[in-house]
Amino acid sequence: MAVFKNVWGKKFVLGTILLLIFPFQSFSNDSLQVSIDLPAIVIKGIASTVEVFTDDINFSGEIIVNCANNQFKVLLEHGRGTFNHCFNEEQFIQSEYLTEPVPVNPIPLWLSIIPPLLAIFMALLFREVVTSLFLGILVGTSIIYYYQSGAFFEGIFQGLLAIIDTYVIESLLDSGHISIIVFSMLIGAMVGVITKNGGMKGVVNKLVRFANTPRSGQFITWILGIAIFFDDYANTLVVGNTMRPVTDKLKVSRQKLAYIVDSTAAPVAAIAFVTTWIGAELSYIESGIETLGLSLSPYTVFLNSLAYSFYPVFTLIFMFILIYRKVDFGPMHTIETETRKTGVLQINNEAKDKIVDEFETGENIPARWYNAVIPVVIVIMGTFAGLVYTGIQNSDLIETHHSFFTRLSVIIGNSDSYKALLWASLLATIVAVVLSVSQRILTLQQSVEAIINGFKTMLSAIVILILAWSLALVTQHLHTADFISKILVDSSLSPIFVPLITFVLAALVAFSTGSSWGTMAILYPLILPVSWLITQEYGYEYNQSLNIFYNVVASVLAGSVLGDHCSPISDTTILSSLASSCNHIDHVRTQMPYALTVGAVASLVGVLPAALGISSWITFPLGFAVLYLIVRVFGKSTELK
């Protein structure tokens, strides 16, 4: 009896210890209950990550989950696990461990194109961009929440609230977006101060000596647009605000100024060796070539792709031809000729507002040009210095055998452009105030009031920017770019047409989303592997494949810039309207025919022939000749007779 008690006593103690170490659920999951956590947005045909979890964090094991005809073995560790699945129809997630099936109602991918198209259509139709953007966002959020709730009016109501508590807030939480807002406000503040202290009036007086005709005024604007090559935001805001009073005096329409400003900023920043774009471009290219395992450096790919960057180069040349021949065509010609005749800014061919010289200063204020030039130079040089400083901090050791321009490009590519812009604009504003107060032109209080007024001038543009970012976030959540990509990429294509299709695809995505950088981020990892694999399937030799590959790299970049130029929801297009004090939809309406003309020439004379193997030494001169011929045939003089 004593032995019996001793044995069972040991078993009891051992069993108790085992139960403490290994809970009952680990030995049996008959009573296990799990829950399913679906993604907030489920899109048809797009892989979604579904989380499976149980409240028991000690459970680890494998369970079976069924989705329609698909069975998934989900490994739970510490009560948590996930599986990926493309939901192509309305279905239920089932499992013996679920108390009831979980319904899944995915959003059809084709609905993703409706929000941006609606915003663009409304903006072009009613020429009022704030309401158009708001409606586009509302439709997008309503689609999302309707498929979540299953109730029409509830979806609209929840979508309305989500505009402010989700999409606007998330857009503002982006540090890059906040940097753009603050930089824009500081630029507005600087302009406000150098306006009140007579500096801008002094610049106008100096520039008018050289810009004494509409053509010379436009030419100087074009030169400045190319000179400030390192950042498109700085280019747009500085050139637009600086040249606006000059072109106003010469009776050049605000629409033409906005076109020159907008169509020099991005093209130059996209193809120059040392720009804030280069870092993003190289990272996107690298993600594409890593997938293929090619022994090519991203910078080498970028340099070789410049021989195929037709749209940016053609755009700059096209503007020069228009200015040189003193002609325009389409809506731009109508507005330009009306402005020359009357000195009145024509809006929608009906309402007309006088061009008011916003840079008029008091009679007793001395017009000293250096009070404006010094802050503007500080913005330009300060931005460049900031790019170099932050680039050196963020760069690894650069091999000394590389050329100076290669090392400089690597440094600029690794720089923090937002910090550089913020530092430069803040310093320029402070210097403008110091110059005004030290010369007793303005008091400190008057300088602060000028700064506040400068802030106010940026408010409407900032509202538009926030809404544009919010709409871009909606299109990202709805996978708009995936929808457009699948239409044009899924079909089997000859390698010859891949660069042209890529150019059109990039333009469509950028037009719909309003973001050239976002377009590059989406398409480079997708298109580069596709283009290379297609050339291999067709049996192309290595050099032939590289020819198509470099062309595709350039086409993504060029198409992104084209779509950005045509899109009314693009942030750079909005900033160009702002800097030129031009009606935004008027700017889009007058710029689009020019952008599409250059885009067509770039496609037919540049991208496609280059894919056929025709040398860039032939395609570029031929493109210039075609552009000149178009201007000569369709261009009409804007000069008074």
The whole-number pLDDT of residue 559 equals 94
pLDDT grade for 622, boundaries at 50, 70 and 90: very high
Model-level pTM? 0.67
Rounded to whole angstroms, the Cα distance separating 568 from 592 reads: 10
Q: What is the pLDDT of residues 109-168, one digit of tens each?
A: 888 888 888 887 787 677 667 888 899 899 999 999 998 887 888 889 999 999 999 999
Rounded to whole angstroms, the Cα distance separating 354 from 331 reads: 19
Checking if the pLDDT of 266 tops 50, the result is yes
- With tokens 């857009």, the residue in question is 171
Residue ranges covered by each domain of the chain: 27-106, 110-173, 177-636
E strands, 107-236, are none
Task: Please give the average per-residue pLDDT across 567-596, as a whole number.
Answer: 88
Q: Which of 257-271, 474-488, 543-557 has the lowest mean pLDDT?
A: 474-488
Task: Provide the residue type at 196 as one letter.
Answer: K
**Do 360 and 367 touch, CB atoms closer than 8 A?**
no
The whole-number pLDDT of residue 226 equals 85
Per the document, the length of the chain is 641
| Percent of the chain residues topping a pLDDT of 90 | 25
Rounded to whole angstroms, the Cα distance separating 482 from 43 reads: 11
Task: Please give the average per-residue pLDDT across 4-31, as a whole number.
Answer: 47
Checking if the pLDDT of 257 tops 90, the result is yes
Question: What mean pLDDT, rounded, does the chain reach?
Answer: 81
Closest by CA position to 535, among listed 524, 548, 525: 548
pLDDT grade for 74, boundaries at 50, 70 and 90: confident
pLDDT grade for 231, boundaries at 50, 70 and 90: low
Checking if the pLDDT of 600 tops 90, the result is yes
Q: Which of 272-276, 389-393, 433-437 has the lowest mean pLDDT?
A: 272-276
Closest by CA position to 164, among listed 208, 185, 209, 134: 134
The segment with the largest mean pLDDT, out of 113-127, 325-339, 504-518, is: 325-339
- With tokens 């590059």, the residue in question is 520
Task: Please give the average per-residue pLDDT across 497-512, as a whole number.
Answer: 88
The DSSP output letter for 65 is E
Rounded to whole angstroms, the Cα distance separating 25 from 3 reads: 33
The segment with the largest mean pLDDT, out of 210-214, 505-509, 610-614, is: 610-614
Rg of the chain on CA atoms, in Å: 30
The whole-number pLDDT of residue 619 equals 95
| 515 backbone dihedrals φ, ψ, rounded to 5° | -135, 115
The CATH class, in words, for 27-106 is mainly beta
Q: What is the pLDDT of residues 79-97, one digit of tens each?
A: 888 888 888 888 888 887 7
Tokens of 152: 């029409």
Helices (DSSP H) in 250-308: which residue ranges? 254-271, 277-292, 298-305
**Do 497 and 531 touch, CB atoms closer than 8 A?**
no
529 Cβ contact partners less than 8 Å away, ≥ 6 residues apart = 288, 291, 292
Q: Which of 52-56, 303-307, 443-447, 605-609 has the lowest mean pLDDT?
A: 52-56
Q: What is the pLDDT of residues 394-424, one digit of tens each?
A: 766 555 556 676 777 777 767 777 788 889 8
Higher pLDDT, 181 or 414: 181
Task: Please give the average per-residue pLDDT across 582-592, as a whole number.
Answer: 90
